Amino acid sequence: MSDKGEYKRDQNYLPDRITADGRDGWPVEPGRYRLVVARACPWANRAVIVRRLLGLEPVLSMGIAGPVHDERSWSFDLDPGGRDPVLGIERLQEAFFKRDPDYPRGITVPAFVDIPSGQVVTNDFAQMTLDMSTEWTAYHRSGAPELYPEKLRDEIDDVAQKVFTDVNNAVYQCGFARSQEAYEHSYRKLFTCLDWLSDRLANQRYLVGDTITEADIRLFTTLVRFDAVYHGHFKCNRQKLTELPVLWAYTRDLFQTPGFGDTIDFAQIKEHYYVVHKNVNPTGIIPLGPDTAGWLTPHGRENLGGRPFGDGTPPGPPPAGERVPELA
């Protein structure tokens, strides 16, 4: 927290990378690593989507923590006996402490964990998804899309950085602000960027190029949570997503694309934010709304052209143990 009451995200993550050549000591190997996520977390949601789109499920298993955590970190309370069935741990912090018994920073998802040693490899969420696209190529499914095409990387990076600063992180800066000045600054930054995104997407289906890229995935995981959480809980209330015609249609388009909406569990999302953030919602009451039926209504974005997966194909259905509840 800054001296002006502005929320400052700790971005010092474990920097190791899992790479094809193993230069950090962690070579890509099928079955060796476990991706630990939580359905509630937008940063983890990115990794879940990328893994689905690239078809890495057979070589990269996934552990799913429950939506509520305490100061001791995310726990595997959704699993039988409250333990991850592969790692055998109750809380993600155990993997961090295996790596460093005095680990001083936040225990965050997503995280790659080395199954043989039980140690966390990295929790650098931004690099993790890029590496899944560029370092795990030997294990991509046939028809996997190019989410980070080399010729578009500079533009993807530029757009993704703006989205991180002014949307992904700005909603938290609104919600966790400790002064009126800090809140209003973040609020204006957020909606200025949403207006910019609306203009950019008014005549093109995706953020960069004519296919889904990493930039779209990074924006989607915030927008899909907007009305359920950020509009009310974090006071991002100039408009709801459903009142922003271009962005509402854009997000529905992605939601209805295989690999996106089938990773979203609105109940877990709401439980996490409204229960864990006691400083924002001291009662812990979880709202019943909003109605989710609109997510499956026609969006019309196909009229802008574009090919969701480029020369690739949609992913198949999620594995049975990874399916989320269908919308009513």
Listed by start position, the domains of the chain span 33-139, 150-309
Instruction: Please report the pLDDT score of residue 30 as a whole number.
Output: 98
Instruction: Give the fold, CATH level 3, of 33-139.
Output: Glutaredoxin (3.40.30)
Instruction: Please report the pLDDT score of residue 124 as a whole number.
Output: 98
Find how far residue 259's CA is from the centre of its chain: 12
Instruction: Please report the pLDDT score of residue 95 as a whole number.
Output: 98
Least Cα distance to 128 among 201, 220, 62 occurs for: 62
Structural class in CATH, domain 150-309: mainly alpha
Upper half-sphere CA count for residue 100 (Cβ side, 13 Å)? 10
Instruction: Please report the pLDDT score of residue 10 as a whole number.
Output: 79
Tell me how far CA of residue 108 lies from CA of 71, 122, 145, 214, 321, in angstroms. Answer: 11, 10, 28, 21, 23
3-state SS class at 297 = coil
| pTM over the 0.75 mark | yes
| Cβ(63)–Cβ(90) below 8 Å | no
Residue 25: beta bridge partners?
Answer: none
Instruction: Please report the pLDDT score of residue 1 as a whole number.
Output: 53
Instruction: Please report the pLDDT score of residue 282 as a whole number.
Output: 97
Catalytic-role residue among 13, 103, 139, 172: 172
Catalytic-role residue among 7, 33, 41, 174: 41
Instruction: Please report the pLDDT score of residue 196 as a whole number.
Output: 98
**Is position 41 annotated as part of the catalytic site?**
yes
User: Which ranges in 78-213 belong to alpha helices (H)?
Assistant: 93-99, 125-134, 153-163, 170-175, 180-201
| Cβ(31)–Cβ(61) below 8 Å | yes
Say if residue 74 carries a ligand binding annotation: yes
Listed as ranges, residues in the chain with pLDDT below 50 are none
Instruction: Please report the pLDDT score of residue 5 as a whole number.
Output: 77
What tokens were used for 24?
Answer: 């950090």
Burial 215-242, CB ≥16 within 10 A → b, else e: bbbbbbbbbbbbbbbbbbbbbbeeeebb
**Is position 193 annotated as part of the catalytic site?**
no
Fold match between domain 33-139 and domain 150-309 = no
